[in-house]
Amino acid sequence: MKWFGESWGAPCCESDGRVEAPVGDLCVKCELPIMDGDRGFLIPFVDRQEGEPYVTDEPWHFGCFMESVLGPVFRLGTGWWARGMSSKR
Ligand SMILES: [Zn+2]
């Protein structure tokens, strides 16, 4: 799995999937731009253009991705939203 930013100690961070943060690209979930210092994932997204399938890697903030997987439990457990969107995502 491709990831960016500081390691958060998960097994995926021990792989060689670390990539440069896609600064300026919009997070799929919150549609805010990825900023320098953010951490997150690049998740493959399959779409079609003129009938032909293609794959792009779409950025997700760490918190946005985790909330999409775990739901509100992640939000309550970490204070993700309480910290505000200006802190590390
Ligand atoms: Zn986001």
pLDDT tens string 20-38: 999 999 999 999 999 999 9
Whether the CA torsion 44, 45, 50, 53 is positive or negative: it is positive
d(CA 9, CA 19): 16
Q: How far is the CA of 26 from the centre of ligand 1 (A)?
A: 8
Q: What is the span of the domain harbouring residue 27?
A: 2-81
In a domain, 89, yes or no: no
Q: How far is the CA of 59 from the centre of ligand 1 (A)?
A: 8
- Burial code of 15-31, b = ≥16 C-beta within 10 A, e = fewer? eeeeeebbeeeebbbee
In a domain, 88, yes or no: no
Q: How far is the CA of 18 from the centre of ligand 1 (A)?
A: 18
Output the pTM of the full model. Answer: 0.74
Looking at the structure of the chain, the number of domains it has is: 1
In a domain, 71, yes or no: yes
pLDDT digits 0-9 by tens, 42-83: 999 998 989 999 999 999 999 899 888 877 666 665 655 544
